[in-house]
Structure formats: C-alpha cells, structure tokens
A and B are shown apart, each in its own frame.
Chain A
Amino acid sequence: MSGWRFNPIALVRAFLRPIDPMLTLLLGVLLGYAWVLMQSASPERLDNQLAHFGVALGAMWVVAWLTPTRLLSLALPLYAAGVVLLIGVELFGEVSKGAQRWLDIGVTRIQPSEIMKIAMPLMLAWYFQQREGQTRFVDFIVAGLLLVVPVGLIVIQPDLGTSLLVAASGLYVIYFAGLSWKLIVPLVLAAVIGIGSIVAFGDTLCQPDVDWQVLREYQKQRVCTLLDPTRDPLGKGFHIIQSTIAIGSGGLSGKGWMEGTQTHLAFLPERHTDFIFAVLAEEFGLVGAVVLLAVYLLLLIRGFTIAAFAPTHASRLLAGAVTMIFFTYAFVNMGMVSGILPVVGVPLPFVSYGGTALVTLCLGIGILMSIQRSRLVARSS
C-alpha cells in the first residue's frame, strides 16, 4: 500500500495481465475479418459494429480480470436471474418477427435467452464443482433438469437457434463432466438416425398436412427447405439457394474484395448478419474460407489446451464447454450458409454484425483468459 506510486509501465502491465496473447491474436484476426467483410456487405453499419467491438472487448477484459472462482460464484444468481427473466419474457415479452424474445426493462430491451448462453455452462460447471470426485448418476439428472427448464422456456418463445445453443452449452458441460459413454453413444446414434430418416423421407414428411408435433410449423419449413431448397425458391429457399450460389461462384480465390456480385447486387439476404460467410466465400473464395476455418481451429485448440490444463474441475468444464460453444456457433453457421444444416439463425462467431452475440462470445473469450490466468497464477505460486 505504502509503496504505491505512479508507474505507467506497471499500470499497462497490470492492465494487460489477464490478456492471453494467443487468444487475443486469434480474436484480432476474426475481428479483422469482420471489419473487412462488413465494408463489403454493409459499409453503413461498420461504425456501429466498431462500437460493438469496443463494448465487447471491454466486457471481455472485465471477465478476464476476474478469477474463475469469482465467476463461478456468480453462476447461481446469474442462472436464477436468467430463468426469472425468461419467465418474464413469456409473460410480458415483446413480440418481434413473430417471436417473443425481448423483455423491456425500462432502460433497454434485453434478450434473457442470451444471458443463458453464459449462465448455463457457469451454472452446471459450478454444480459439478460441488460434486467433484463424487459425481454420481443422479447428478447428471439434476444437471439435465437445470438444463431443460431454461431451454424449454426458450423453445416456446420460439427461438430454435438460441435454445439449441443454450442446450448445447449445457450438454457440453455434462459431457465433459463424464456422462457415461453408454448414454452418449445411444443418444448420438438416435440423433443420427433421426436426422437420417428425415433426410430419407423428407418428401413425405414435408407434405403440408403432416404435423411434426415437436417442431413448430416454421421450424418444419426450415428443415424441409434445407432438404430441398427448390421447394420454395422465392421464399425460404431463396436464402440457401442464393448463399450456395454466392459460395460456389466464389471459386478458389474469389471474385475479389467488394466485387461479389451476389453480395453487391443484393441477391444475398442478411448478408451482414447470419450470411456474412457467403460474402467471404464469394469474394475471397475457398482460400479465404479455409483460412477462416484454420483460425477457428486454432482458437478451438487454444481453448481445449486451456481446458486440459485448467487448475480446477469447474474451470476445466467451463473452458471445455465455452470452447465447444465457439465451435457450435461456427459449425452451425457455416453449415447452414453452405446448405448442409437448416437455417437456424446462428451468427458467424466474432464476424457477423450484431452487438449481443459479439458481447456473449467475447465474454466466453474472457472466461477462457480468466481460467488461463488462474492456471499461471496457480503454477507460479
């Protein structure tokens, strides 16, 4: 206390202390992609997105600066608040684009489902931390319940994309916590067979009078359009058809920056948000797309490394789950834009326009950084 004096270098070092150089570098590359693509896809929104960068990076720094312990202590309140807000949405929410997702809390409108993307893995990691070394089957049932309640609330909004991501984030924690392979393998098999049969019998299932029970009509439409985009070439299939044309016409090296005809002649829908990958693939070709894949892969490897060497059980689970969330975002988005997954409204992580998703994702990076720092601190002490 008494030895404190103004020392700019120490201050900067203190400021940079929680920052992981590798993650920062990869994040920088991804934001660079966003900056370059946004100029082509929607230059008028560039300034907005740069502001989002600032907010997101600030949030990331704050989280990175906190210790994992502190973060985990926030798990329960955050989770509880999230669930309450989700119920609030169900009761008082605003309808936008046919779905009830927003809650007006006076100052601003918030999307509680977004909170759950962070709160869910935190909560489950925290829970398994409590059961460390004595995890039993019943714990997985409890975790499953903790998962199902908010996911169910999001599904009925309805918001398939977010519920999928929230569910995935929880499932990843459960997976890393050691759910028996005997349960995982049949589940995965069931999913594969289910999807396979939908593909195989798509024509019959997509008849207008067939009611899918579990999924809503618009979700059924999305799946059906995915199976055969030409079914509705001017409506829902238009997105997929135009984005595959954009990607395919890009070729090996692309048409050149700002030269994408699909992008610049407005054939590509939502080109600055969910379909920004098609802009990349059209203007920078296979090379640009594969480099992006490589950057994501490096980011994921970094995340897995941090997870593998994290000092505590909870931080391991958390780091693993966060990494897998990044993967899920990237895979689902690129899969949907290139036409191998249904259009579910998941942004391309760190690249798509939009503040909320970017903040959430950067919070994830912050969590990784916080865990990495705690490991270094643990080792040095």
Chain B
Amino acid sequence: MTELRAPAQELARFRLRVVVAALFVCVCLGLLAARFYYLQVVRHDYYLTRAEDNRIALLPTVPNRGTIVDRNGVVLARNYATYTLEITPSQVGDVEATLDELAMLVAIEPRDRRRFAKLLEESRNFESVPVRSRLSDEEVARITAHRYRFPGVEVKARLLRDYPQGAVGSHVVGYIGRINQRDVERIEEAGNAANYRGTQHIGKAGLEQFYEHELHGTTGVEQVEVNAGGRAVRALSRTPPAPGNDLELTLDIELQRIAENAFGDRRGALVAIEPATGGVLALVSTPTFDPNLFVDGISTQDWKALNESPDHPLLNRAIYSAYPPGSTFKPFMALAGLETGKRTAKQAISDLGYFNLGNHRFMDDKIGGHGMVDLHKSIVVSCNTYYYQLAHELGIDNIANFMAPFGFGSRTGIDLPGEATGVLPSPEWKRQRFRRPEQQQWFPGETISVGIGQGYNAYTPLQLANALAALVNDGKLYRPHIVRHVIDSRSGERRVVEPEPLREIPLRPANVKAVLDGMVDVNISGTGRRAFQGAEYTSGGKTGTAQVFSLRGQRYVEGKVRERLRDHSWFVAYAPAEAPKIALAVLVENGGFGAQSAAPIARQVMDYYLLHQRAGQPAAEDVEADESLGEEGVNGAGGGPLVPALPPVPAGAPETAR
C-alpha cells in the first residue's frame, strides 16, 4: 500500500511545491514590475534629467573681440585665428609626462613650458591651459592623429589678439591678458560671470580695459551632445555669439608714431587734443612697450624687463604722472590776473631780478631782471618776478578757485583707466594732505612758488593739454576722449561719442586774446622761437621747466646735475593761432630747459598734423590692406573644442566681415 501510495504522495507534494514556486516567481516578477514602475513612472522626471545632464553639455561660444582702428581706419588691435594646443589639467594624470610625450610630436620649447607652468598656477583646474599657440597645419594633424593617447589634450581654434602697430600707441590701446583670480572676482561682482564663461582674456590696460564692455561682445551658447568620454558628438542647438563692438578712435596713429619717434629714447609724455571736441589726437608716453608680449601670457623675463626697468615703460606718464607745470602755468596765471582785475594787459612792473617776501628773496632766471614787464612780455620772456608779484596779490585761494574750472587738480574723465588727479594746491588741500598741524599750515611763500608753476603744483600732461585746449577754445572745456565711434557689431550702426562739454568757463574774449597773443609771440620771438622758426602756420606756445630737485637758492647749472635730477622740460602749444585745430602739452623727463627738448617735439607733431596730413592719404590705403588681413580666416570658433566630425562653425564670418 505504502509502496503504491508513496509515488502518488510525492506527486501531490511535488505539485504543491510547484504551485508554491510559481507563487514565489509571481511575487518576484511583481517586485521587478514594481521596481520598473517606480523608476520609469514615479521617478521618470528625475532620471530623465539625469540622462539629459549626462548627454548634454552647454559649451560657451566666445565672441570675437571688437577691433580698434584709429581715426583713419588703421588697425590698432585685431584678432587672428590660430590653433593652440591645450591641456585640461583635471583630465590629465601626470601633466609633466604628458608634456614630455607631446614634445615628441610638436616642438615645445623650455619657454613654452615655463609659461605653461605659470599659467597653470593661475588657472582653475578644470580649465584648459594653452601649451603652444600658432600650431602649423602639420602639427595639428599630428596631434589629432594621436589624440586617443592624450585624454585631456585638445587642439583648439582660438582667436588671438594682435596689435599690428606694435609698441606705437601701446599706452592708449593697452592690451589683453588672461583672466586671473582678481578679474574673476571683478567679473562676478559686476554680474557678468555668465557672459565670461569660456572667455580667457580680458582687457588689462588702456582702451582694451576701459572699453572691455564694448569690445567683449555677448557669449553664445552651443548645446552639444557628449558621449561618456566627454567628447562632443553632435550639436543640438546654438545661439551664436554677438561679436564685440569695434572702436574707432580720434587718435591718429601716424601722428602718434611721429610723436613717439620725436622723443627718441627720452622719457616723457605728449598729449595732443582737438580743442573743438576734446578728441585726443595723440597720447604718448615713452618709453613704450610691445603689447603683443601680453597676449599669450607674458614670459617672466619679459615681465621682469618691463616691470623693473628704471624707465618704467608700463607707466602711462601722460595720464598718471603729475609734474609741476613750471612756466606753462604762467598763461593761466596771467589770465587769472586779468579776469580778477588785479592786472590789465598794459600794466607793467619793474623787474629787478628778484621778489622779496618777508626775508626770503625769490630769484628770477635772468640776473638783474627783465626791466619793465607787462603781461605780454611776461609770457614771451617767461618773467618770474611778474608772476611772483601777481601770485602774491591774488592769494592762493583766488589762484585755486580760478584754476579749478580748467581741470587742474581733478581727473579729466578721459576714457582710459588709471588717470591721476594731480595737485592743485590750496590751504584746504594742504590741510587734507598732511597729518601734523605744523605741516598743515599754508605759508605765504608757498603761494609765490605756485605762481610760477612750481611748489606743490602737479599736473598730468593730459590735464595741461586739456586746460590749454579750453583756453584756446574760449573757455569751453571738454571731456577728453579717445574713442570717436563705437561701431555696433550687429547692426553696423556707428554710435558717435559726442564731444562732452564739461563746463564753459566765463572768460572775457579780450583777456583771452591778450594771453594768447603773448603765447603766439613766444613762438615768434620768445622761448619757442628757435623751435618754431619757419613754420608754415601760426602757433602759440609756452615753455616750462619743472624742478625735480630743489637747489635751495643755488643757481641751476644743467651740466652739474645728475641726469635723473635734471629739470623736466615742458612745452605747451596750439596751432593755427587763428582757429586752433590742435592743442598739445609735451613733457620730457629730465629734459632741462623746455625750449631745448620739448618744443622741437611739439613742432614735429604740429608740422605733421597741420601740413603733412592733408597729403597723408596713403595711410588710408594701408588701412584697407590691414583690415582684410585682419579679418581673414577669423572663423569665430572661439575656443570650442575641435571636433572634426562637426562642420566648422560658421560663426563670425558674416558678423566680422564689415
């Protein structure tokens, strides 16, 4: 019985177990179905986002930086396309070893390595850092072929900045450099972080810095699909970047070049202004430097050479260095005398060669004095005694109040960064300037020094040039400006930078004429006579000498003083005298007497501007040649990764071809 029953029992038991197993299977598969439902329905949005995040990368497309041209269209700053070899440190294990391996494919000089090391320190880890720029086609091909060996190494098409004029006008144009930590903070503060995504360079000096917001443009965005290796495989959509706006300057680069050459190897500054508009025609600071050195990241040696030179080539003397104006201050003093009624033009004083105040004697340059001196003669022969007396009678407050509207001692508001204020001395200024009470007191003797442009007086060449421009412009003071047009990159619209009158100083025309007549005579029979001999135009001028080193009453003899302690040489001038088209101030550091070194520079600049320029059309032809060169091959890839599978981004072509 049991023998027969057993198999049947086992069959029944087996079937029960099959049912149990089937139930278990159903439960488990149900569990899976529930899991799928949870992942695919409940959390679908989350995982979809994760998948999109995985595959989509937003790549910024860096806009082409605007170009800068001078008033005749000569290119001062432009872009050119180049291939750069770049390494993203975060994706590379051993950077040094990678460099060694890359060096077998392309030439990597020790210089490149040093620069790379420097840039590496400055950059964020996830940014790509250039190793080499200006790769040849062959080098590009070689690297691309070996790309699989070098994760984190890329060849990128970049636009590099080029300053075709080299050192000419470098203080005006300035330069761009790689964005450093401080720049990043500034950008973030200004809320521009998004627009600077992908941008590696920023204006660091000059117009490049001041007009950064115009030149930079608007960054575009490219949505690309990336694979698990992080390489872009396909573009999904793109918002093209809007290239930066172009700048057209009031500056004449040929005039600038003439002026810079005229300085030779002397240190100094020159500012030439169009009095009717405040447009800056030339703004020179010598020595200059080559801004192209900064574009790729300046090498340590070059930086050292520039930064540690005793001549301070990076210093923009025209707007940052303030010097005592010396005798160039006298026309303004003369006008102050006339306008305040302390003097009439005809009123003459007797110059015995000195002026006594208390028990201090202020000496004239000429031993024994100039005899009878009226206002006209005081300017022509630059008579100190006349101005000692005048200053004494005016008093420091009147002088300060009269000079301030001309812009002395305040920033002119020129469109360049880093302008200095200068010093227009007054008791008030002295109180604020000094801490100790005994230093804060204003002494009457100090007024006398101020009267001849010495003492605490200190103005930038720009301030002096602009004050002169206001003087010859019947008291109309403009904000000096270097940019004449901003050319909108998208619409092509030329936005005019309107001359901005800062104020109209109420001056009686007869008084102005009396002073200017004196200045005209300076160039005919006075201290500027020799420099302006045979000029084909009328002009007015005034020499000046700024004391560097007080000789404490001893007579100044040039040969006995060390070169660096020699007086600075000034010359201010304008022309043509009837309707001034140019007003300028020249300063030659340690140049000695103004008529010797500064005035000839002024003459050369004026000759070019007033005479040569009318015939100087060849400049315009250069422009076109330069421009076509500048735009060629600029295809706006702007730093995106080079993906051969993608068609070349046709970015900038239409936008830049203006």
Contact = CB atoms under 8 A, between A and B. Distances in A.
Interface of A: 132-135, 172, 175-176, 178, 242, 244-252, 261-262, 265-267, 281, 285-286, 289-290, 293, 296-297, 300-301, 304, 307-308, 313, 316-317, 320, 323-324, 327, 330-331, 334-335, 338-340
A261 B225 contact: yes
Nearest to B225: A265
Given A134-B6, A248-B48, A262-B51, A286 B25 contact: no
Given A267-B54, A300-B22, A327 B40 contact: no
B303 interface: no
Contacts of A331: 28-29, 32
A335 B29 CA distance: 9
Contacts of A249: 44, 47-48, 50-52
B43 interface: yes
Nearest to A133: B6
- From A178, A265, A293, residue with most partner B Cβ within 10 Å: A265
Interface stretch (B8-16, B74-82, B147-155): B8-16
B26 interface: yes
Contact of B51 (A133, A261, A266): A261
B55 A251 contact: no
Contacts of A297: 25-26, 29
Contacts of B225: 261, 265
- From B29, B48, B226, residue with most partner A Cβ within 10 Å: B29
A374 to B, nearest CB: 16
Contacts of B229: 266
5 residue pairs, one from A and one from B, having the closest CB atoms? A248-B47, A249-B51, A133-B6, A248-B39, A265-B227
B559 interface: no
B36 A176 contact: no
23 contacts: A132-B6, A172-B21, A175-B17, A176-B14, A176-B17, A176-B18, A245-B50, A248-B46, A249-B51, A251-B48, A261-B51, A262-B51, A265-B54, A265-B227, A265-B233, A267-B51, A307-B14, A308-B14, A331-B32, A335-B32, A338-B32, A338-B39, A340-B31
B35 interface: yes
A232 to B, nearest CB: 16
B14 A316 contact: yes
A247 B21 contact: no
Nearest to A238: B228
Given A265-B228, A266-B229, A327-B25, A251 B44 contact: yes
Contacts of B226: 265
Contact of B29 (A293, A304, A308, A324): A293
Query: Chain A contact residues: over half helix, strand or loop, or mixed?
Result: helix
B33 interface: yes
Contacts of A266: 227-229
A246 to B, nearest CB: 7
B37 interface: yes
Given A251-B41, A307-B14, 9 more contacts: A248-B40, A248-B43, A261-B225, A265-B226, A281-B39, A300-B22, A301-B22, A308-B15, A308-B18
A203 B233 CA distance: 39
Contact of B10 (A178, A248, A289): A178
B604 to A, nearest CB: 67
Contacts of A246: 51
Contacts of A323: 21
A251 B40 contact: yes
Interface size bracket, B side? 35 or more
B7 interface: yes
B44 A252 contact: yes
B3 interface: yes
Contacts of A340: 31-32, 35
Contact of A296 (B10, B29, B37, B52): B29
Contact of A250 (B11, B40, B50, B228): B40
Contacts of B47: 244-245, 247-249
B37 to A, nearest CB: 7
Nearest to A285: B40
B544 to A, nearest CB: 71
B36 A286 contact: yes
A251 B36 CA distance: 9
Given A286-B41, A335-B32, A132 B18 contact: no
Contacts of A178: 10, 13-14, 17
A185 to B, nearest CB: 11
A348 B32 CA distance: 14
Given A248-B50, A249-B48, A281 B32 contact: no
A340 to B, nearest CB: 6
Contacts of B3: 133
A203 B19 CA distance: 38
Given A248-B47, A308-B18, A320-B21, A261 B55 contact: yes
A174 to B, nearest CB: 11
Nearest to B54: A267
Given A251-B44, A300-B22, A290 B55 contact: no
Nearest to B7: A133
B228 A267 contact: yes
Contact of A261 (B37, B44, B54): B54
A176 B10 CA distance: 10
Contacts of A307: 14, 18
A343 B484 CA distance: 70
Contacts of A286: 36-37, 40-41
A169 to B, nearest CB: 13
A189 to B, nearest CB: 14
A293 B28 CA distance: 11
Contact of A244 (B14, B39, B227): B39
A73 B29 CA distance: 34
Nearest to A301: B22
B39 A132 contact: no
A336 B6 CA distance: 41
A300 B25 contact: yes
Contacts of A296: 29
B13 to A, nearest CB: 5
Interface in B40-79: 40-41, 43-44, 46-48, 50-52, 54-55
B152 to A, nearest CB: 15
B28 A320 contact: no
B55 A265 contact: yes
A167 B7 CA distance: 26
Nearest to B55: A261
A332 to B, nearest CB: 10
A293 B31 CA distance: 11
Contacts of A335: 32, 35
A211 B6 CA distance: 49
Contacts of B51: 245-246, 248-249, 261-262, 267
- From B6, B50, B229, residue with most partner A Cβ within 10 Å: B50
Given A245-B51, A249-B50, A338 B36 contact: yes
B5 to A, nearest CB: 9
A345 to B, nearest CB: 18
Contacts of B13: 178
Nearest to A178: B13
B10 A313 contact: yes
Nearest to A188: B24
A78 to B, nearest CB: 24
A245 B54 contact: yes
Nearest to B3: A133
B40 to A, nearest CB: 4
A244 B51 CA distance: 10
